[in-house]
């Protein structure tokens, strides 16, 4: 995300678990779905489909991670088939899945194999508190916490060519992350960069010489810096001198350690890629598209480049053979989006996931040049027929000021002009997130049970240009809320929607807008607030200490509670519980470090004081998202029961 705090997506995996998404962020359209501005006109005729249970939808297995080991004999994969994410060593033909972790409480997330053996690194927090540590698993199965401590947070920062590696931690100062260089044999470490000034550590060159940093100036502008770690007194050097507001992001160093690739939106609405030469200091254009370039990375042998473009709620991946400059010709694949492309060290094999709205991410392995790729997983529960699930359509509608708002529309198979269905507006997290194509058991379960879903990308959403992205700055709960209201008006124009039975649902920032919709409008018949902010003053005063580096950017977008307290109280639903007139369901994690439990406690009490129906589901073992399958099922059942009663 460019230079603007994305409140809900700082921890991508945690937030993805809100809807049980089977995805990484890297995607590519293999075959485009049809799109229609007529709201479902391109879909097949009304059909009756069986209604599947929450247990069936969440019997679906979620997979991610597919790093190929040094000798291309196995991949490192995370799966929640036990109910909690654990790590597996998966043979290249998929015939052997060896458990590497066996946690029953705290999910384990893969980082990487070691470059020359089957040791591995992974990360985990404690009960959803987001205080992630970095762990080492030896070949014999013993595990070592490389970042021990009670209050610290740490993350892996990259490999050195010699097999050593880098980890950033905030153990010295909870506000800022320092960089440590770890010996790859005895795991001793050395502090190589002490971060006293609030930089964000992004990448280290493979030769260990250069460190790339970013620093926020405001929520629309940041700068990139380089540190020469070989110097006697390493200090940041500005490499993005500019005028005005330009947002930058770091893609990474080139494989030969000669340049840094970064993105910037100074010359257009969208992010283009640039090449900074480490020797000459010259910056030149590198790649450009009609949308934001999301990422660029390379195969280990420097033969292939993988580039992702965020194109209208889907990311299109292009894989280029750098020897001849041509696109890599992929084998014939089922319709869906390519995700998480990973090469073996010699680029003989490529592993990836394939995902669609009606099909969770399945793991594939392809031997380059062979006619077919091998599918290794069956993620969707065998009791569910994917033909009974629904493909989304990209639609657009005009808001109160004629601004065009993009959205994804899910039309139940059973919906028709003669069988109108109730509808929900789904609001993504953020601010600054984006509703995207791809499988969501949460959405598919609701649609399967006869609820239309419109996933609105309201103003302030990422992916639609920098102007659109900043239209909600210091206007939260106002203009973006009207986009949600006009999404309802759009639904009411569809002849297969029961226009008097429309509710609203969302998580994190989407939970906030859900509560705002219920408190500040009388448009919606019911609302489901999933760990949503309800008191902006408290939330902004109690942000985790490790967010210090972008505190000012956060305040520039949402407001400084010391300066903008009056406005923040005005848009905070907890102070306006008496205005909520329709039923609400509130869901909260007790360990949430962003939206504290007390916010939901007080919101529920305020609604109850007004004698309005309110239900409260509290998870003692979750943070800002659902990481345990049993909790996802419990929450999903609560949504459906609530909607059946009130919508």
Q: State the average pLDDT over residues 34-60.
A: 69
CA neighbours within 13 Å on the CB side: how many for 188? Answer: 1
Two structure tokens written together for 267: 């010359």
Higher pLDDT, 8 or 407: 407
Tokens representing 511? 């939970």
Query: Using DSSP, how many helices (H) and how many strands (E) does the chain show?
Result: 11, 37
Q: What is the mean pLDDT of residues 126-140?
A: 93
Q: How does the average pLDDT of the chain come out, rounded?
A: 91
pLDDT for residue 28: 37
Whole-prediction pTM = 0.89
Provide DSSP, 148-188. Answer: --SS--EEEEEE-TTS-EEEEEEEEETTEEEEEEE-TTT--
| CA gap 36, 172 in Å, rounded | 54
Q: How confident is the model at residue 33 (pLDDT cuts 50, 70, 90)?
A: very low
Is the pLDDT confidence value at 418 over 90? yes
Band the pLDDT of 4: cuts 50, 70, 90. very low
Question: DSSP string of 449-484?
Answer: TT-EEEEE--TT-TTS-HHHHTTTTT-TTTHHHHHH
pLDDT at 13: 36
> Is residue 91 within 8 Å of 137, Cβ to Cβ?
no
Enter the tokens of residue 184: 């790859």
Tokens at residue 106, please? 């705290």
Residue 53 banded pLDDT, cuts 50, 70, 90: very high
pLDDT of the residue at 379: 96
Across the range 394-420, mean pLDDT stands at 97
* Diameter over CA atoms, the chain: 76
Edge-first strand order for the sheet with 120-124 is 109-113, 120-124, 133-137, 143-145
pLDDT band at 229 (very low <50, low <70, confident <90, very high): very high
C-alpha 1/C-alpha 271 separation (Å) is: 11
Q: Model confidence over 527-575: pLDDT tens digits?
A: 999 999 999 999 888 888 887 877 888 888 888 989 999 999 999 999 9
Contacts with 95 (C-beta within 8 Å, 6 or more apart), sequence order: none
Domains of the chain: 12-20+397-545+573-646 (3.40.50.1820)
Secondary structure, 3-state, 330-344: CCCCCCCEEEEEEEC
- Check pLDDT > 90 for residue 440: yes
- Work out the pLDDT band at 43, boundaries 50, 70, 90: very low
Mean pLDDT score, 362-375: 97
pLDDT at residue 5 tops 90: no
- Lowest model confidence (mean pLDDT) among 241-245, 317-321, 545-549: 545-549
How does pLDDT run across 157-174, given as a tens digit for each residue? 999 999 999 999 999 999
Q: Is a pLDDT exceeding 60 seen at residue 647?
A: yes
pLDDT on residue 8: 34
- Averaged pLDDT, 225-232: 95
Question: Phi and psi for 317 in degrees, rounded to 5?
Answer: -95, 135
- Write down the pLDDT at residue 45: 59
- Indicate whether 446 pLDDT > 70: yes
């Amino acid at each position: 995300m460019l230079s603007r705090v994305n409140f809900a997506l700082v921890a991508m995996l945690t937030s993805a678990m809100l809807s049980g998404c089977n995805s990484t962020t890297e995607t590519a359209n293999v075959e485009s779905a049809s799109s229609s501005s007529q709201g479902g006109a391109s879909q097949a005729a009304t059909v009756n489909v069986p209604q599947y249970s929450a247990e069936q939808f969440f019997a679906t297995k979620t997979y991610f991670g597919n790093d190929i080991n040094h000798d291309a004999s196995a991949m490192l994969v995370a799966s929640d088939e036990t109910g909690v994410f654990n790590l597996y060593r998966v043979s290249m033909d998929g015939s052997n899945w060896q458990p590497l972790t066996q946690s029953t409480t705290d999910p384990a997330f893969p980082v990487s194999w070691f470059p020359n053996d089957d040791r591995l690194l992974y990360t985990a927090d404690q009960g959803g508190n987001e205080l992630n540590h970095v762990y080492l698993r030896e070949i014999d199965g013993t595990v070592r916490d490389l970042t021990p401590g009670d209050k610290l947070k740490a993350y892996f920062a990259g490999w050195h060519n010699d097999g050593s590696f880098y980890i950033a931690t905030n153990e010295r100062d909870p506000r800022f992350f320092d960089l440590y260089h770890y010996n790859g044999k005895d795991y001793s470490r050395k502090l190589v960069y002490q971060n006293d000034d609030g930089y964000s550590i992004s990448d280290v060159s493979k030769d260990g010489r250069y460190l790339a940093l970013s620093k926020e100036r405001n929520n629309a502008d940041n700068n990139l810096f380089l540190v020469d770690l070989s110097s006697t007194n390493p200090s940041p050097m500005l490499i993005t001198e500019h005028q005005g507001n330009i947002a930058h992001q770091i893609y990474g160093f080139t494989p030969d350690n000669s340049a840094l690739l970064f993105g910037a939106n100074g010359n257009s609405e969208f992010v283009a890629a640039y090449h900074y030469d480490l020797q000459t200091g010259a910056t030149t254009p590198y790649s450009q598209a009609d949308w934001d370039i999301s990422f660029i990375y390379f195969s280990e042998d420097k033969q292939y480049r993988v580039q992702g473009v965020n194109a209208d709620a889907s990311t299109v991946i292009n894989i280029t053979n750098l020897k001849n400059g041509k696109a890599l010709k992929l084998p014939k694949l089922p319709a869906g989006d390519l995700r998480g492309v990973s090469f073996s060290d010699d680029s003989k094999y490529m592993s990836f996931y394939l995902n669609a709205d009606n099909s969770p991410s399945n793991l594939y392995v392809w031997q380059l040049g062979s006619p077919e790729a091998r599918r290794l997983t069956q993620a969707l529960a065998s009791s569910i027929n994917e033909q009974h699930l629904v493909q989304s359509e990209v639609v657009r509608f005009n808001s109160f000021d004629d601004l065009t708002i993009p959205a994804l529309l899910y039309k139940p198979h059973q919906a028709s002009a003669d069988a109108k269905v109730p509808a929900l507006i789904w609001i993504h997290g953020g601010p600054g997130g984006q509703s995207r194509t791809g499988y969501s058991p949460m959405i598919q379960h609701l649609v399967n049970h006869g609820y239309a879903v419109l996933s609105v990308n309201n103003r302030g959403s990422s992916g639609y240009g920098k102007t659109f992205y900043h239209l909600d700055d210091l206007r939260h709960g106002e203009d973006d809320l009207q986009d949600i209201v006009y999404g309802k008006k759009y639904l009411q124009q569809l002849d297969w929607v029961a226009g008097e039975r429309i509710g609203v649902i969302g998580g994190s920032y989407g939970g906030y807008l859900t509560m705002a919709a219920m408190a500040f409008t009388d448009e919606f018949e019911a609302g489901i607030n999933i760990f949503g902010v309800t008191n902006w003053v408290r939330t902004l005063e109690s942000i985790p200490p490790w967010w210090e580096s972008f505190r000012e950017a956060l305040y520039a977008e949402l407001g400084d509670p010391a300066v903008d307290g009056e406005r923040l109280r005005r848009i905070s639903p907890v102070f306006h519980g008496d205005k909520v007139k329709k039923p609400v369901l509130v869901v909260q994690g007790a360990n949430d470090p962003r939206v504290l439990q007390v916010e939901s406690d007080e919101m529920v009490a305020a609604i109850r004081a007004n004698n309005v129906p309110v239900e409260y589901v509290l998870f003692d073992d979750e943070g800002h998202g659902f990481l345990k399958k049993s909790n996802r099922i419990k929450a999903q059942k609560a949504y459906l029961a609530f909607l059946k009663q009130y919508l």
